[in-house]
Amino acid sequence: DIQMTQSPSSLSASVGDRVTITCQASQDISNYLNWYQQKPGKAPKLLIYDASNLKRGVPSRFRGSGSGTDFTLTISDLQPEDFATYYCQQYDKLPPFTFGPGTTVDIK
């Protein structure tokens, strides 16, 4: 099975900061990588699919990049509503469709 890791596990940032979260797969998954945002007590929301495609309606300050085994989610000009936990998820070939352990972005 493909394992996913994320770093850091948490970070503190201020409004207006640029934040970078990395996700690494245990084997080549091409660009089959999605990013989700989850706020406490709420369901996850899709932000980016296929590594770099922004879901319609998601602000352009969110950017995804990478392919193969290494991926990055960048949030530019961090806004108050961006404080949340972010998960990557791979879907290369057959199940299981593993999620990363998550990265929590909180207010410094």
Partner 1 sequence: EVQLVESGGALVQPGGSLRLACAATGLSVGTSSMSWVRQAPGRGLEWVSLIYSGGQTYYAESVRGTFTISRDISKNTLYLEMSSLRVEDTAVYYCARAYSSLQIIFDSWGQGTLVTVSS
Between CA 62 and CA 74 the distance in angstroms is 6
The pattern of x and - marking residues 68 through 87 that bind partner 1 according to CB under 8 A reads -------------------x
Please report whether residue 96 would count as binding partner 1 according to CB under 8 A.
yes
Nearest to partner 1 of 1, 81 (CB atom)? 1
Between CA 31 and CA 44 the distance in angstroms is 20
CB of 43 to partner 1, least distance (A): 4
For the sheet with 10-13, list strands across it. Answer: 10-13, 103-107, 85-90, 33-38, 45-49, 53-54
* Binding stretches for partner 1 (CB under 8 A): 1, 34, 36, 38, 42-46, 49-50, 55, 87, 89, 91, 94-102
